[in-house]
């Protein structure tokens, strides 16, 4: 087992994607779209959906187990587990305590965090602070089953969303320049209604005559979402690089939320980040909301390594226009 004396910051990575592959052709045929329509507009070629017997904690579990094994630490040293999700097993209780139980973590607290696509960044910021303050390891998992929240007749959501999980283990830093170096977490409630699941909350609770579509994803104002996403992530990334006194060339790896290839390309161009530094899983795995960043961090390690001293830039924006950027030192 590794000790806190020789390793710190992000020390373990894990990911999980369900087995079922859903190709664009299937969706294009159902929606009457011409061949290639989805990939041209989103960059997605296929995505993964869970099987009928899988729930949220079922896909979060293998990603978390992989991250703990990769970290090579005693599970008993994990003192907190944060689960970023918009699709928990149940509305009540939270799913994190069940995940902690399934993982067999004897000393870990557990709580869900509902920050939509940016949820992992918020959870990671909390994990970094808690690990530093308490001197313990923190497990951060992001997982979503969005295939069960897609309106099959709504093109905007059906072509994008997918199911996946990713996880990281955060440990107290062992040297300067490790962990979060700069952070910018924001929200813009003026655009609260553009991406939402309308029914089921206290504002629109269950009614016997409720339209089932009110429990499914609704996306509106595509051009507004695109423009705001590009502007917000560009400004946020510029801000934290300035905070850290770094230039875009100092970024070794960029992990953007895998929302849409056009957004990623526009933000990368605006930030002057070399495209080769972008961690990309969008084409084969689609958009699994908060899970895309930890999933990409883990999956892309199969072809690249993170070395001591590397700088990672993470960027995300989603429903509620909850957004943020983190700059992390390895």
Residues designated catalytic:
117, 257, 287
Give residues with Cβ within 8 angstroms of 90, minimum separation 6: none
The candidate with the shortest Cα–Cα distance to 55, out of 127, 183, 152, 143, is 143
Using CA atoms, how far residue 218 sits from 30, 150, 194, in Å, is 18, 8, 8
Cβ-based neighbours of 57, under 8 Å, separated by 6 or more? 89, 95, 98, 99, 102, 143
Q: Which residues contact 69 (CB under 8 A, 6 or more apart)?
A: 12, 14
What is the rounded distance in angstroms from the CA atom of residue 288 to the CA atom of residue 44?
Answer: 12
Contact residues for 11 (Cβ-Cβ < 8 A; gap 6+): 2, 70, 71, 72, 73, 169, 170, 171
Rounded CA-CA distance 105/191 in Å is 39
**Whose structure tokens read 């960059």?**
43
CB 74 within 8 A of CB 104: no
What is the spatial distance between Cα 267 and Cα 299, in angstroms, rounded to a whole number? 22
State both tokens at 202.
């206290």
Tokens of 191: 């655009």
Select from 44, 52, 53, 48 the least CA-distant residue to 20. 48
């Amino acid at each position: 087992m590794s000790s806190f004396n020789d390793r710190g910051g992000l020390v373990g990575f894990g990911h999980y994607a369900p087995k079922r592959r859903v190709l664009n052709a299937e969706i294009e045929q159902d929606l009457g779209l011409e061949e290639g329509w989805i990939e041209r507009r989103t960059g997605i070629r296929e995505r993964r959906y869970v099987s009928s017997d899988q729930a949220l904690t079922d896909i979060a579990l293998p990603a978390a187990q992989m991250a703990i094994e990769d970290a090579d630490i005693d599970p008993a040293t994990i003192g907190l587990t944060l689960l970023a999700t918009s699709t928990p097993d149940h509305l009540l209780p939270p799913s994190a305590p069940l995940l902690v139980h399934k993982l067999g973590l004897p000393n870990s607290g557990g709580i869900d965090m509902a920050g939509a696509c940016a949820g992992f960044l918020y959870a990671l910021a909390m994990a970094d602070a808690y690990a530093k303050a308490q001197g313990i390891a923190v497990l951060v998992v992001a997982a979503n089953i969005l295939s069960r929240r897609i309106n099959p007749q709504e093109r905007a959501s059906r072509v994008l969303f997918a199911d996946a999980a990713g996880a990281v283990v955060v440990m107290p830093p062992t040297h300067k320049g490790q962990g979060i170096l700069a952070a910018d977490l924001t929200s813009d409630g003026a655009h609260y209604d553009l991406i939402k699941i309308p029914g089921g909350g206290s504002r629109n609770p269950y009614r016997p005559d409720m339209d089932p579509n009110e429990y499914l994803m609704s996306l509106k104002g595509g051009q507004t979402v695109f423009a705001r996403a590009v502007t917000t992530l560009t400004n946020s990334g510029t801000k934290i690089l300035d905070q850290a006194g770094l230039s875009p060339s100092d970024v070794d790896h960029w992990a953007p939320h895998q929302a849409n290839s056009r957004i990623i390309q526009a933000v990368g161009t605006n930030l002057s980040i070399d495209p080769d530094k972008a961690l990309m899983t969008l084409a084969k795995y689609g958009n699994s909301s908060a899970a895309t960043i930890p999933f990409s961090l883990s999956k892309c390690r199969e072809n690249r390594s993170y070395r001591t001293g590397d700088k990672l830039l993470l960027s995300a924006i989603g429903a509620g226009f909850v957004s943020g950027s983190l700059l992390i030192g390895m």
